[in-house]
Each structure stands twice: as structure tokens, then as C-alpha cells.
Amino acid sequence: MKLALACNCGGRYSAKPSDPEDLYEEFDSPETLEQIANELSAFGHTVDILEADRTFPSALENGKYEFVFNISEGLKGPCRESLVPAVCEMLDIPFSGSDALTMGITLDKDLARRIVSEKVPIAHGRVFASEKEINLSGLNFPVLVKPNAEGSSKGIRLKSKINDPNTAVSEIIDLMKSYNGPVLVEEFLPGSECTVAVLGNEHPDVLGIMEIAPRNGPLNQFVYSLEIKRDYLNHVDYFAPPRFSASIIRQIKSSAIDAYKLLKCRDFARIDFRLDANDIPNFLEANPLPGLSPVKGDIVILSRGHGVEYQELLRLILSNAFKRQNLKFP
């Protein structure tokens, strides 16, 4: 089968001086793209890497591709992750992963929180779209302040955990200007943080859970920030399986499946949680486009800790997508 690997390559773009320096943090390296293409080729497919920019629709149609393996983060805007699925749907080309609707909802952290809160606990929070709206009354400090529609911890720094209202207001305004969008303020959760890999469609299942533990400093001060992620080898320890009680693991698995279903994720996703002061897992966000870097992708590290190596993870994702669309997996 002729496959297109739809992506955005970080090496092709440079941020302007006025842009946030993490503008293209979500994009994949050329090495990651080559690795994914090679692994997909090993399943018997012909794979071309297609940049998901304005050339993508015509390149996809003219190339007569039979399937799209989508890892594209999109170039800009709150619906950027929806663009490749929408183009594939328009051209009637089957693709991996969630559809345009789910991609749009999950990038908007506030919308995702509202949807999953039907069954899954969330931290008390509030989203602000303009300076005039900012009102922090009723929120318990400390709080975590972050852009509402960004991924890969863009805009989440060590300073994002804030202890007083005046500093929080200043940070909210700065983030609004820097990322040109709403800002989410959540009451800070002091417990352990973890991420969950969920795979499947009609009957999704948890592949595994990974605890993300600070190597330096107390847990109740830990922020899994951009600085930490960029230097994760020196700042965090990953435990897969996690060091949680059986009861907490059951709660996390149940909440992850509920969130996955409520958000209508497909094929695979990574769901993030943090425990509150009572050790109850609270939903942070869902990522239906988790990074697949063979070295530092959280879902890759998680899967390896549960005995699933890189090629097998990609095979599971691709086979789920093929089965969902009644395609024959070689």
C-alpha cells in the first residue's frame, strides 16, 4: 500500500524574533520522521514523507496515496491539528488517528475538561480570553497558568506555578499576548503526575501507565514544564509501571478509558493525569497526537517500560487504524 506520512518537520521553520521561542516545539525532527517512515516501510508499505502545509492537499491527491499516517501538529491556529484529518476526509483517503472534531476539541484544554468532567475528576479552573475577563476570585492558590490551546508544554514553565493573584494576572496577560489566545488557570494539584497510553476503538484498552517523578525537589512543587522536558534525563525519573497502589492504578485506568471514549479518540492517544491531595487522579489533558520520537516521546518511553518496543507500538497503532476502516493489514 502507498502511504503518506503527514507531518510537520521542525527543521523547516524558524520563529521570528516576536514569536515565542517554543513556537515549533511540537514539530518532529527529521530523524524522527525518517525512523517512523522506515518502520512503516518494514510492514510492507511504500512510504513518502509529506509536509502538512498548503501544498499538502494537492500532493496527497496527485500522489494517489491509499492511506495517511498522521502525526501532523498543524502550522497555526486553534484548529491546526484538525487540518490533516479534514483534508483526508474531503479527499476520502483513510487515515490513522482521531478525526477533525476530536483533534479540535482536545487541543482546547478547557473544552476537553468540560467534556470529560461528566465522569472524570478535574481540577477547579477557569479560562480567560481577554484581560477584561480576568477574575481569580474563588480559586485556591497556588495555581498553574498555561495557554489553553498549545501542546508539548508550550508556555508551561517553572514559573507557571504561581502563589499570588497579582503575579498570576501578570502571567495570564503575558501568555495571552505571546500565544495569541485564551489562558487556562487551574488550581495546582500537589500529587504525583502520570501519563497513560490508550489504544483501540470499539473496546479501547490501557497499554500502560507511566509515573513522572521529579529527581530534584519536592513532589508538591513539581511542574512538568518545558525546561524539564528539554532536559528530562537530569530532572525526572520515569516509572513504568508506576509506583502507585492497586486502587489508584484502577482509578487511573478507568478514568483514562472514560476520557478516551468521551472525547471520541481513535486508534491511540495519551491521557495525562495528576493526583490531588486525596490521591484522586484528575484529568489534565488528552493528546491524540502524542509525540512518537523513538528517544524522548513519552508514549514511547511508557510503552517500552511495559515491554512494547518501538516497532511494535507503531504496528499496534497502524493495525488499529486499518481494522477500524476494514483495511487488510499485511
Domains of the chain by range and CATH? Answer: 2-95 (3.40.50), 124-187 (3.30.1490.20), 190-324 (3.30.470.20)
Q: Quick: pLDDT tens for 216-229.
A: 999 999 999 999 99
Phi and psi for 177 in degrees, rounded to 5? -70, -45
Q: Which three cell numbers stand for residue 262?
A: 468521551
What pLDDT score was predicted for residue 14? Answer: 87
Q: Please, what is the average pLDDT of the chain?
A: 96
pLDDT at residue 329 above 80? no
Q: Using a CB cutoff of 8 Å and minimum separation of 24, what contacts does 322-330 make?
A: 322/67, 323/201, 324/201, 324/266, 324/267, 325/94, 327/1, 327/67, 327/94, 329/43, 330/1, 330/43, 330/44, 330/45
Specify the DSSP element, H or E, that contains 262.
helix 246-262
Please write the tens of the pLDDT for every residue from 174-208. Answer: 999 999 999 999 999 999 999 999 999 999 999 99
At 5, the pLDDT band (50, 70, 90 cuts) reads: very high
Phi-psi region of 322 (alpha: psi -120 to 50; beta: other; left: phi over 0): alpha
Q: State the Cα–Cα distance between residues 61 and 65, nearest whole angstrom.
A: 7
Residue type, 118: E
pLDDT, tens digit, 9 for 90 and up, residues 14-41: 888 888 999 999 999 999 999 999 999 9
pLDDT of residue 16: 86
Q: What is the pLDDT of residue 11?
A: 84
Mean of pLDDT values over 107-130: 98
Q: What is the pTM of this model?
A: 0.96
